[in-house]
Amino acid sequence: MSCATKFTQLFATLIVVTTALLSCGVQTAVRGQGPGRTSEVPKAPLPKPHPHRHPSPTPPKDTAPPKDTAPPKDTVGELIGQGIKLNQQGDHNGAIDKLTEAITLERKRPAAYYNRGNAFYDKGDYDTAIGDYTDAIELDHGYDDAYYGRGRAKSSKKDFDGAIADYTKAIELESDFADAYRERGFNTFLKNIGLGPLHAQSA
């Protein structure tokens, strides 16, 4: 056998061996990946919920919707209104009882003292009326009606200077208080001529 023939056979053998090796390498590479399998990065496990972070089965107490409540009843105001009505009807004692009840429930309600003063004035008890008007003024220094009422009671006791002072204060608080102007003028007239406690007639 010539050298050329040997070389040709050797070259053919190398080709067969190389082809066989390459074929084995490809099969090894794809082995383990059958149909439908995909290579994925493993997912991180989900964190377990904290035992103290579970939602409460019932809402907190402060989140409950507020219930509709009726406004508090103004019992004192109702008693004052009843007293005013009774006094207008001529039942001065009944008015005084209602207004005294209102004062017992709330001693700092100027209107209760003022309207009870009116009832005492209409009854002819001027001293007690002056006391109630004064209490109303002490609770509310801007109560022009109370100054006016006290002025009338003082005038009825022939205290013209005191009456004029109260009418003047009422006018300072309410510049268009026509009745106070009229009574102040009339009491000034009575003081000058020395007459008894009379009141100007309403226009």
The CATH number assigned to the domain holding 125 equals 1.25.40.10
Query: Based on the structure, what is the number of domains in the chain?
Result: 2
| Residue 171 · residue 157 · CB < 8 Å | no
Q: Are residues 127 and 96 in the same domain?
A: yes
pLDDT tens for the chain, 203 residues long, are 555 565 566 556 666 555 655 555 544 444 444 444 434 444 555 555 444 444 444 444 545 545 555 546 689 999 999 999 999 999 999 999 999 999 999 999 999 999 999 999 999 999 999 999 999 999 999 999 999 999 999 999 999 999 999 999 999 999 999 999 999 999 999 999 876 555 555 44
**Segments forming the whole domain that contains residue 175:** 141-196
**Mean of all residue pLDDT scores within the chain:** 78
CB atoms within 10 A of CB 97: 17
- Burial grade of 21 (CB within 10 A; 0-12, 13-18, 19 or more): exposed
Q: Are residues 158 and 177 in the same domain?
A: yes
Residue 6 structure tokens: 């040997």
Q: What is the pTM of this model?
A: 0.62
The b/e string for 189-198 (b: 16+ C-beta within 10 A; e otherwise) is ebbeeeeebe
* Calpha distance 165→49 (Å, rounded): 82
Q: Are residues 107 and 151 in the same domain?
A: no
Which residue, 132, 95, 128, 97, is CA-closest to 113?
Answer: 132
